[in-house]
Chain A
Amino acid sequence: MNGLWVALGAALGAPMRYLIDKQVQAAWKTVFPWGTLAVNILASLVLGVVTGLVLAGSPDALFSGLGVGLCGALSTYSTFSYTALRLFEDGFRFYAAVNVAVSIMAALGAASLGLALAAYSTA
């Protein structure tokens, strides 16, 4: 049953990542991967909230659907690392380093904000 929730969440999360990335890259025409950065931060915020809610007693199905499925498919490590490699190879070494550092720090901040929001709402 949880596998079905994962499929449902992923069926929404992956196309969301594709469409958000397309929109963001079209709006800000740079080589910097703003789109991937945006989806990774958004998914980390939502997963923080979902994890906090499930720790406070919300059903496991919520974690399977929104956490494993939606947030897991909305965020990506493969595109993130491939873009970093390509930026580095194409001579944008500063962008590559900034992208890696900002992605990790901003996503960690978003995750702790999400966990805090869930703790606040269930307190």
Chain B
Amino acid sequence: MSTPGLTHNKKEPMNCDFDALAANEHRWRARGADVVAVVAAGGILGAEARYLASRLWAEPPGRFPYTTFGVNLFGCFLIGVLLVIVSDMRTVTRLVRPFLATGVLGGFTTFSTYVVDSQRLISAGHPGVALVNIVGTMAGALVAVSIGALGTRRIIALRHNRHAR
């Protein structure tokens, strides 16, 4: 006797319509709903990691927001590494980039907390700290993404050269 659901025999009517399921999945993918779903899942992971960091290294108000600064720079470094690796890979499934880049790293880094923190520092009478945060995060993020992307490209080029020899 076969276990229902594990073997699919056309002659045996089953309560599970595989053709309808397949058609459903096809429609779902055609609309790009699977991409939206992995972006949401990745976004949850990234946001929870950022939330955890903000709990571990809580910032007193009126001081330089080190945690958000660190989270944003780390996320920018990682996206540089990731997007170079993904574009170098010959076979990469269509969900990897939306999940990791748009979802996880997009959810991990934040622009809104960066500007609202800066705005509140200005209102609280710390315009200097706000300016250091505004310019420092921007410059640091651009350096971090450049180190991530250029460093990874260099490593990949070295490996290709070694294989070519």
Contacts and interface: CB of A to CB of B under 8 A. Distances in A.
Interface of A: 2-3, 6-7, 9-15, 17-19, 40, 43-44, 46-48, 51, 64, 67-69, 71-82, 84-85, 100, 103-104, 107-108, 110-112, 114-115
B111 A80 contact: yes
Given A81-B145, A85-B145, A108-B119, A75 B112 contact: yes
B145 A13 contact: no
A79 B79 contact: yes
A77 B47 contact: no
B17 to A, nearest CB: 29
Contacts of B46: 10, 14, 73
A17 B51 contact: no
Given A18-B98, A78-B101, A111-B112, A10 B118 contact: no
29 contacts: A2-B51, A10-B40, A10-B43, A13-B107, A14-B43, A14-B44, A14-B102, A15-B39, A40-B112, A44-B116, A46-B112, A47-B113, A47-B116, A51-B120, A72-B113, A78-B105, A79-B105, A81-B142, A81-B144, A82-B79, A82-B145, A85-B142, A104-B115, A104-B134, A107-B111, A107-B112, A108-B115, A111-B116, A112-B119
Interface of B: 35-36, 39-40, 42-44, 46-48, 50-51, 54, 72, 75-76, 78-80, 83, 98, 101-103, 105-116, 118-120, 123, 134, 137-138, 141-142, 144-146, 149
Given A15-B40, A115-B123, A10 B48 contact: yes
B72 A77 contact: yes
B115 A18 contact: no
A112 to B, nearest CB: 5
B119 A111 contact: yes
B36 A79 contact: no
A98 B111 CA distance: 17
B111 A68 contact: no
Interface of chain A, main secondary structure: helix
A85 B138 contact: no
B76 A82 contact: yes
A104 B138 contact: yes
A75 to B, nearest CB: 4
Contacts of A114: 116
A70 B47 CA distance: 9
B125 to A, nearest CB: 15
Contacts of B145: 78, 81-82, 84-85
- A-B interface, 9 closest residue pairs, ranked by CB to CB distance from nearest: A14-B43, A10-B47, A75-B111, A77-B109, A78-B79, A47-B112, A43-B112, A75-B112, A40-B111
